[in-house]
Structure 1
Amino acid sequence: MKKILLSLLAAFFLIFGGTAGVRADDYLRVGMEAAYAPFNWTQDDDSNGAVPIEGTNQYANGYDVQIAKKIAASLNKKLLVVKTSWTGLIPALTSGKIDMIAAGMSPTEERKKEITFSDSYYTSEPVIVVASDGEYANAKSLDDFAGAKITAQQGNYLVNLIGQIPNVSEQTAMGDFSQMRQALSADVIDGYISERPEARTAEAASSKYKMIAFPEGQGFETSESDTAIAVGLRKDDSQTLAQVNDILAGISEEERLELMDQMIEEQPAETAEEGEAPHFFQQVWTIVQNNWQQFLRGAGITLLISVIGTVAGLIIGLLIGVYRTAPLAANRFLALLQKAFSWLLTVYIEVFRGTPMIVQAMVIYYGTAQAFGISIDRTLAAIFIVSINTGAYMSEIVRGGIFAVDQGQFEAATALGFSHGQTMRKIVLPQVIRNILPATGNEFVINIKDTSVLNVISVVELYFSGNTVATQTYQYFQTFTIIAVIYFVLTFTVTRILRYIENRFDQDNYTTIEGEKN
């Protein structure tokens, strides 16, 4: 056990020690998905002017990145990209986790209620991306998409454009463009609405996709606030807003078009070997060879969070379980306090058992910063979230384990003069721990899988790392097959280890009983 704890501490300091030297004042922290080429994407090196992504060994590049670099240079700061899911960008900004948003975001009226926007630094047009060999590959107008299954990105103005297609089969909006491309490849949808630069990227990166642009008068009707793209800032940051507008005013329209053309040329593309197309397992092996470090780091973070979260949750559960089964104090005032605290613990248990972990993550990570000004490292926040979530479940499991112990043992301990604490420590808990081992193992396995929801606060766990690889390679099914195998290996290994521990417990108990008989 000591070796395990020391290993966890070493991993903990290895992860967080590397970020201690980063001073916030020296950096302009800009939020973006880093998965929306050519506006922003993720790559493995700093070629072509890419900049570091916070908390990873990867880099971000794209049109948004280059615009943000110009802004950072004018503010005498270094640019640091904070890779954030689309739905988390505005909460990250308003909670102070980032300084600004540069993510191909349009200054819609709904967003202006929460944040303020700079002048536009690019204007795009909506198009539809379809399968190059599909039914709608030769469409010329919106009328040609009657009956088509069309979707768009959640929280984006493009969703509102679906209704302009006559007799369209509107599909549920998706979280990001990688999900939509995957759905299109799997024939789940017939197309998705995008902006011209992203569509050109998909078309150039893979032969599976085709962009459908429309002649004037036969396409979508949009407002200027929808098609314009601007930098997002906090409403109270008027000084930076003025500086950003001055910087953008100094970039001519010709420079912006040249920069976009350059980014389209430099964007990541699907790699294909010459000759016969590689089969599925060759593609999987190539992805593993080229990206094993990302998968390894993601798996390490997933395992670290789940191990610490499960151990901490077990300790929380044991403490709460013992407390809630303790007899009331003889003193009336102390008994009242004991009941009040038990009521608070009940509220904690019901709240964290009754709400999804993904919601808890958003509230704790972004909400605490916005409401109380408390900024928590995202990995620390993830460990805290998993720990208290597990603690809520484990407290009920422990309570059930305590009640499963024969009442006669409590009475015998009382007759011998044991206090409640002594009874629990020496008689009850050793039995409870053995009895709840299977449930604890189940919680551990659940935590390994549930860390995937922490990507909403940009924790670089296994799913987050794998999704990044998928957006780089455009090979979604192959990449997620690798992720599934890694998850299975982790959960299967943990299950086998826990079964071994259970057997050792049983063997030790059997040896003790046999020794007493002899």
Structure 2
Amino acid sequence: MGMNLDFTQIVPSIPYILKGIWVTLQIVLAAAAVGFALGIILALFKIGRIKVLKWLADIYTSIFRGTPLILQLLIIYYGAPQIVGFDIDAYPAAVLAFGLNSAAYISEVIRAGILAVDKGQREAAMALGIPYKKMMRHIILPQGLKNILPALMNEFITLTKESAVVTVIGVADIMRRSYIVGGQTYKYFEPLLFAGLIYYIMVMGLTLLGKAVERRMRKSD
């Protein structure tokens, strides 16, 4: 018995599905910016000397790494209005959920990168009387980030794939549009397979970009 695939029915809907790429990229880029900025702060808390901040950063990371992303998304979208008193639109809810989740993972990556920097760099900076903030901003962080670029790119790729869960709150991303087309044509396999192809191409593109950046950085060493 054949698979009986027929992609001709979804051809007119391909432009509609492709529009979801921009929606997905908007969410991913905004969430990545939130996650990176917050991740740096959390990483600095974890390696800092203030125990309360270190404790809070560890609890934050534990919660967001220990619970499913889709649960965090649903809590922010459906549960937060009970606390803040007003509804949150699907797009900002998605950005917030993905950004907060990504920050937990990025903070660990950045922390590891900072700790991997030669201790002599910090000792030399302290011996020269360079303030802690300037030392971290201009000496330690740039070197640490350079070492962890592959790990950061992997987190960005993971975020791109995981963004598909926004379909559960109605965001018209690639997955949601593919599902809608499936409902209109009564054929779900073909549009979902097409969506999978789009995600695969996006991920492969990001992978090649990451490798190109790595090669460039190795040449600059």
Which bin holds the TM-score, normalised by the shorter protein?
over 0.9
Matched, 1:325 2:37: no
Query: Which residue pairs with 1:413 in the alignment?
Result: 125
1:117-165: CA deviation from partner (whole Å, max 9, x where unpaired): xxxxxxxxxxxxxxxxxxxxxxxxxxxxxxxxxxxxxxxxxxxxxxxxx
Query: Which residue pairs with 1:284 in the alignment?
Result: 7
Superposed, which structure 2 residues align to 1:42-53 within 5 Å? none
Matched, 1:307 2:19: no
- Distance (Å, rounded) in 2 between the aligned partners of 1:297 and 1:358: 23
Give the alignment partner of residue 316 of structure 1, picking from 38, 44, 65: 38
Superposed, which structure 2 residues align to 1:295-374 within 5 Å? 295-326=17-48, 328=49, 338-374=50-86
Deviates more, 1:378-387 or 1:307-316: 307-316
Query: Which residue pairs with 1:192 in the alignment?
Result: none
- Distance (Å, rounded) in 2 between the aligned partners of 1:348 and 1:296: 36
Deviation at 1:462, TM superposition (A): 1.1
Classify the secondary structure of the residue corresponding to 2:130.
coil
Classify the secondary structure of the residue corresponding to 1:460.
coil
CA contact (8 A) 1:353 1:389 kept: yes
Query: Which residue pairs with 2:93 in the alignment?
Result: 381
Deviation at 1:481, TM superposition (A): 1.4
- Distance (Å, rounded) in 2 between the aligned partners of 1:344 and 1:374: 27
CA contact (8 A) 1:434 1:502 kept: no
Classify the secondary structure of the residue corresponding to 2:7.
helix
- Distance (Å, rounded) in 1 between the aligned partners of 2:96 and 2:86: 14
Deviation at 1:397, TM superposition (A): 0.6
Superposed, which structure 2 residues align to 1:19-30 within 5 Å? none
1:236-283: CA deviation from partner (whole Å, max 9, x where unpaired): xxxxxxxxxxxxxxxxxxxxxxxxxxxxxxxxxxxxxxxxxxx74xx3
- Letter paired with 1:350: S
- Write out the 4+ residue segments of structure 1 that deviate beyond 4 Å after TM superposition: none
Give the alignment partner of residue 205 of structure 2, picking from 493, 507, 513: 493
Change in 2 beyond 3 A, CA 1:374/1:436: farther
Query: Which residue pairs with 1:475 in the alignment?
Result: 187
Query: Which residue pairs with 2:171 in the alignment?
Result: 459
Query: Which residue pairs with 2:104 in the alignment?
Result: 392
Matched, 1:507 2:219: yes
TM-score normalised according to structure 1 size = 0.41
- Distance (Å, rounded) in 2 between the aligned partners of 1:476 and 1:374: 35
Query: Which residue pairs with 1:219 in the alignment?
Result: none
- Distance (Å, rounded) in 1 between the aligned partners of 2:220 and 2:102: 28
CA contact (8 A) 1:308 1:383 kept: yes
Deviation at 1:488, TM superposition (A): 0.4
Deviation at 1:341, TM superposition (A): 2.6
Gaps of 5+ in 1: 1-185, 187-278, 329-337, 510-518
Gaps of 5+ in 2: none
- Distance (Å, rounded) in 2 between the aligned partners of 1:310 and 1:285: 36
- Distance (Å, rounded) in 2 between the aligned partners of 1:293 and 1:380: 25
The structure with more strand, counted as a fraction of residues: 1
Deviation at 1:362, TM superposition (A): 0.8
Matched, 1:294 2:16: yes
Deviation at 1:315, TM superposition (A): 1.7
CA contact (8 A) 1:310 1:390 kept: yes
Over alpha carbons, which structure has the higher Rg? 1
CA contact (8 A) 1:462 1:483 kept: yes
Classify the secondary structure of the residue corresponding to 2:60.
helix
Classify the secondary structure of the residue corresponding to 2:148.
helix
- Distance (Å, rounded) in 2 between the aligned partners of 1:439 and 1:380: 26
- Distance (Å, rounded) in 2 between the aligned partners of 1:382 and 1:367: 13
The structure with more helix, counted as a fraction of residues: 2
- Letter paired with 1:491: V
Aligned residues: 221
1:271-315: CA deviation from partner (whole Å, max 9, x where unpaired): xxxxxxxx74xx32541x311232122121111111221222112
